[in-house]
Structure 1
Amino acid sequence: MANILQIVKEIRKSLSNFDILKGMELSDNEAKTRMYLVEPFFECLRFNRGFENSNLVPEFDADFANLKGKKVDYAILFRNKPEIIVEVKKCNVKLNNKHLAQLNEYFNNTNDSKIGILTNGIQYEFYCRNNNAGFSLHPTPFYVFDWDNIDGSQLEKLAEFYATSIDTKNIIESAQETFFMEGFEEALFKELASPSRDFVKAIFSHMNGSRLTENIEKQITELINSVSLKSALDRLIIKESTNANSGVITTEDELKVFHVIKTILAQHKQIDTNSIGYKDFKGKFSIIIDDNQKKKVCDLYITHTSHKIEIDGEKIDIPDIDSIVKLKKRLIDKAISII
């Protein structure tokens, strides 16, 4: 089986050979959008259209209760089961919640479906089931491919859907983990922005307090702010760095490179210094904007023997500060493109 880099290379080659502008020009209705844009896109992923001995099946049955004759534009079959369904709209029509609701109906009535794709031939929105809403799709796509904004990280994600190596179970598990993490971070932000009495009580108990009065509650609430949280965060980073059991160790070298890049980005007036942050993972250190992993500027791969940075899928050696400074334009351009 081909590895991810081989697949990315093959997809990049296939997409570069496709005349997207000509396809858009010809796609003046939904049927032509399917013919000139959607089907060639899935052919790049090695899904072949047809009614027999194929895995991209057009006009797949998706009846609603007593309403017969309802068909979703395409189903992608695995072991003869439609695990992915695709709803197509006319080229250049802006995809909206009404279109998503239609895809959701098809999804609910196609029992074996695991992933739903909504597209206008230019933008492809990939959805999975919402674990908090029964059988419905999650209202937010877990991945979006856009012809107007193709970069290395986007192609790496697209490569997961390559016909010869796709694993829908792993894709969905990864998407659900992302949604869970985003939900957690949003909930944590809301709690810190407007602390509940239970949260204040928990802090007071760690202060060895015995009786939480109204005045003490007000004092603690006022102390929960960006300054105190930054102080606590710095201590937490140090604690995690010295705790091998945490599984993720933020090193001094990683922080040093982060601060160099943050300084470079902060020089541009369009980039808010306070929006520049990072997330540390096992094996890589991501520099992000607005605490949003989808707004990634670059990844760092820092070890005792090697210092590398990855921008748009390209890994570059950064043995010293000068080598980072030389990447100033690329780093700023990348940051501006995602803010």
Structure 2
Amino acid sequence: MDFKDQIKQLGERVNNLKGQIQTEEATKNAFIMPFLQVIGYDVFNPIEVVPEYITDIGTKKGEKIDYAIFKDGHPTILIECKHWAQNLNIHDGQLLRYFHVSKAKFSLLTNGITYRFYSDLVEANKMDEKPFLEFNINEIKDNQIEELKKFHKTIFDAESISNTASELKFTNELKFLLQQELANPSPDFVKHFARQVYPSVVTAKVLLQFTNLTKKSIQQHISDLITERLKTALTKEDEKTKEQEAIQVEQSKVDEIKIVTTEEELEGFMIVKTILRQKFGVERVTYRDAQSYFAILLDGNNRKTICRLYLNGNKKYFVTLNELKKEIKNEINSIDDIFNYSEKLIQIVDNYCKILESNQP
């Protein structure tokens, strides 16, 4: 199971169990420790994952943080845990104080559902107010999984993560601002566009008018983008389907070239027709040769298989199909042995005819 699947599986586990988790300690055991295991750390190794890590904060001695992940004898990630139902917004200040007196480069605040990763991107040795990576384990996106993967023990590189974390942090903040503006455009946002299209001064009345126009334009643009994406996706799917059909046609041609109908198979076909001639019009009995077997059909219909002959291998088989269309193989020494199954062949065709009659009005 790859990393993405493991994270998705953990998200399902959290969603199924959270109603039964009553305490913070249970949240750690059921959600957070399994998360640390998924990103490659041995939670039962107190040298690698240190529980109740002590940090002295000013005059306060012996302050403890829930976990510290160590690398080369030094803390690299501080982890503060809360009960899964708690709002994390009221707890980030506590983690900030721990981070300030530690040599750790990253900190993580989590309730087992929401995960917030922090660093010191704005001011050295001071934890940023906003996380550079945040996700909900139940709704984690593929791009977030790729960022999280960088914290996996096997590839963890603090410097490399720091180099990309700044861009990630500001990108996320810009995305959030854009989402807000697109949903409810601010006056400054509206003015920026109104001034470029309105020929006069943007008064309060004009601003109100353009606020509605901006909202409408945004909605139409998003709708156009979605429509265009759907068209592109459908076109690509149509092209893919045509390509697959062309490949299948070519493969069928190749298969047909490989198929050689032998004299023995034709002789077997004549024997079956001779048997059935006793009770049925044999003009309805046809054959279709395949690479592995020779099929004898009623009305040229694959769903009305009378029998199959396997005559080209080391052993020869006379085959019929059961109610589930599974093969019943009978080994034969020569094609003359087909006469031994005369009653079976007549019964099969008789059943097909009865079904056909019952379906007629």
Equivalences for residues 4-153 of structure 1 within 5 A:
6-12=2-8, 15=10, 19-21=13-15, 23-50=17-44, 52-53=46-47, 55-96=48-89, 98-110=90-102, 112-131=103-122, 133-153=123-143
1:23/1:37 contact within 8 Å kept: no
Specify the alignment match of 1:170 in structure 2: 160
1:273 to 213, 219, 242: 219
Q: CA deviation at 1:194?
A: 6.6
Specify the alignment match of 1:292 in structure 2: none
Relative to 1, partners in 2 of residues 1:104 and 1:9: Cα closer, same or farther, differing over 3 Å? Answer: same
1:27/1:37 contact within 8 Å kept: no
2:15/2:138 contact within 8 Å kept: no
**5+ unaligned residues in a row in structure 1: which ranges?**
196-223, 231-268, 278-286, 288-296, 298-308, 312-316, 325-339
Partner Cα separation in structure 2 for residue 271 and residue 108 of structure 1? 47
Q: 1:118 is aligned with what amino acid? A: L
Kindly indicate whether residue 235 of structure 2 is the aligned counterpart of residue 320 of structure 1.
yes
Specify the alignment match of 2:306 in structure 1: none
1:125/1:141 contact within 8 Å kept: yes
1:50/1:58 contact within 8 Å kept: no
Partner Cα separation in structure 2 for residue 34 and residue 322 of structure 1? 45
Partner Cα separation in structure 2 for residue 99 and residue 19 of structure 1? 25
Relative to 1, partners in 2 of residues 1:229 and 1:155: Cα closer, same or farther, differing over 3 Å? Answer: farther
Q: CA deviation at 1:149?
A: 1.0
SS at match of 2:61: coil
Specify the alignment match of 1:225 in structure 2: 192
SS at match of 2:59: coil
Relative to 1, partners in 2 of residues 1:52 and 1:118: Cα closer, same or farther, differing over 3 Å? Answer: closer
Relative to 1, partners in 2 of residues 1:79 and 1:179: Cα closer, same or farther, differing over 3 Å? Answer: same
Q: CA deviation at 1:184?
A: 8.8
Partner Cα separation in structure 2 for residue 38 and residue 31 of structure 1? 10
Tell me the alpha carbon deviations over residues 110-150 of structure 1, each in whole angstroms, 9 at most, x when there is no partner: 1x21111001111111111142x443221111111312313
Partner Cα separation in structure 1 for residue 217 and residue 145 of structure 2? 26
Relative to 1, partners in 2 of residues 1:23 and 1:134: Cα closer, same or farther, differing over 3 Å? Answer: same
Partner Cα separation in structure 2 for residue 115 and residue 276 of structure 1? 37
SS at match of 1:68: strand
Alignment RMSD: 4.3
Partner Cα separation in structure 2 for residue 142 and residue 101 of structure 1? 16
Relative to 1, partners in 2 of residues 1:129 and 1:229: Cα closer, same or farther, differing over 3 Å? Answer: farther
Tell me the alpha carbon deviations over residues 271-301 of structure 1, each in whole angstroms, 9 at most, x when there is no partner: 9427749xxxxxxxxx8xxxxxxxxx9xxxx
1:45/1:162 contact within 8 Å kept: yes
1:62/1:109 contact within 8 Å kept: yes
SS at match of 2:83: coil
Aligned length: 214
Higher relative contact order (CA 8 A, sep 6+): 1
1:107/1:136 contact within 8 Å kept: yes
Q: 2:158 is aligned with what amino acid? A: T
Partner Cα separation in structure 2 for residue 159 and residue 61 of structure 1? 27
Relative to 1, partners in 2 of residues 1:271 and 1:158: Cα closer, same or farther, differing over 3 Å? Answer: farther
TM-score relative to the length of structure 1: 0.52
Partner Cα separation in structure 1 for residue 136 and residue 118 of structure 2? 15
1:57/1:77 contact within 8 Å kept: yes
SS at match of 2:140: coil
Quick check: which has more Rg, 1 or 2? 2
Equivalences for residues 191-270 of structure 1 within 5 A:
225-226=192-193
Q: 2:73 is aligned with what amino acid? A: N
Partner Cα separation in structure 2 for residue 100 and residue 275 of structure 1? 38
Relative to 1, partners in 2 of residues 1:157 and 1:35: Cα closer, same or farther, differing over 3 Å? Answer: same
Q: 1:103 is aligned with what amino acid? A: L
SS at match of 1:163: coil
Q: CA deviation at 1:229?
A: 5.8
Partner Cα separation in structure 2 for residue 166 and residue 33 of structure 1? 25
